[in-house]
Amino acid sequence: MDRISFIKIDIYLKKNVKFACKVEYDGCGYAGWQSQKNIATIQDELEKSISYVANHQVKITTAGRTDAGVHATSAVFHFETPKHRDKKSWIFGINSNLPADIKIKKIFQVSNDFDARFSAITRSYRYILLQSLSSSPILNKKVYWIRTKLDLEKMQKGANYLIGEHNFNAYRTSQCQAKHAIRNIHKITITKNKNLVYVDITANAFLHNMIRIIVGCLLQIGTGNKKPIWIDEILKLQQRNHIGETTPPYGLYFVGVEYPKKYKIDNKITLPFL
């Protein structure tokens, strides 16, 4: 029996350990999270690096798949391995084999019943708008630039109609593969710091492009093109063709996932330094 066969037997006989990881990444250079052939993705880069450190093929499961150009400060995924290493060794080893725009920030050993996707209680995102007469080269592809002054109070009134459990069919793309559009938005807050406007949203889960469509609708209200009640009217119509623009992906950040306390995962939201 050759050495490779011995390694495979050794991996099979050892009991798997499950880890949850928090990862930060700049999504500009990738075609989104999900693995794709012949194109760079976040998932592929992570699996390649973890597999190298673990010395066997590793597959990862994420709490939420981001689209091309979307960033993350605290996305969560899990993987299993029979390899036993301390947390620092995992972080240093994985990060040393990752590109500069993807890095593991924290790692937690979790019980076998943990699942990054199905164990999640809520997911949180932040969308950042730059309200300025001119765009910012430094913040290029990190925020969505708008020239028009926004009425944040009216935007918040419109956003409040979305809080709670609703059918968000009007707020997803035609390519969305979710079986149903029922989602529960726990909170939406709109705040401003100097010339940056933040739209923070937390829900049990999101549909494809849901947040970017919502932000696009809120901009219609903020610029005075629509009244706050329009958000509720579209929600009740459940027809996508009545909605305005979908904002670009690069203003969006995946900032946190909440899990039950029994898993002992840090549920702290990590906001971008903007």
Reported as a single tens digit per residue, the pLDDT across 131-175 is: 999 999 999 999 999 999 999 999 999 999 999 999 999 999 878
Tell me: pLDDT of 242 over 70. no
- The CATH label, of 3.30.70.580, 1.10.760.10, 1.10.3720.10, 3.40.50.1370, for the domain at 3-119 is 3.30.70.580
Give the pLDDT of residue 2: 54
Give the pLDDT of residue 6: 44
Give the up-direction half-sphere exposure of residue 91: CA atoms within 13 A in the CB hemisphere: 15
Q: Which residue has the tokens 């080893």?
A: 93
Give the pLDDT of residue 106: 97
**Dist CA 27 CA 128 (whole Å):** 15
**196-203 and 122-131 strand pairing:** antiparallel
Tell me: pLDDT of 25 over 50. yes
Max alpha carbon distance in the chain (Å)? 74
Q: Which residue has the tokens 């973890």?
A: 50
**pLDDT tens digit sequence for 172-192:** 987 888 889 999 999 999 999
What pTM does this model have? 0.93
The residues spanned by each domain of the chain are 3-119, 122-254
Active site residues: 67
Which CATH code for domain 122-254? 3.30.70.660
**DSSP annotation of 229:** H
Q: What is the mean pLDDT of residues 5-18?
A: 62
**C-alpha distance from residue 227 to each of 1, 25, 198, 236, 242 (Å):** 73, 36, 20, 15, 14
**Dist CA 149 CA 143 (whole Å):** 16
User: Which residues is 203 bridged to in the sheet?
Assistant: 123, 185
Q: What is the mean pLDDT of residues 73-97?
A: 96
* 3-class state of residue 146 by DSSP: strand
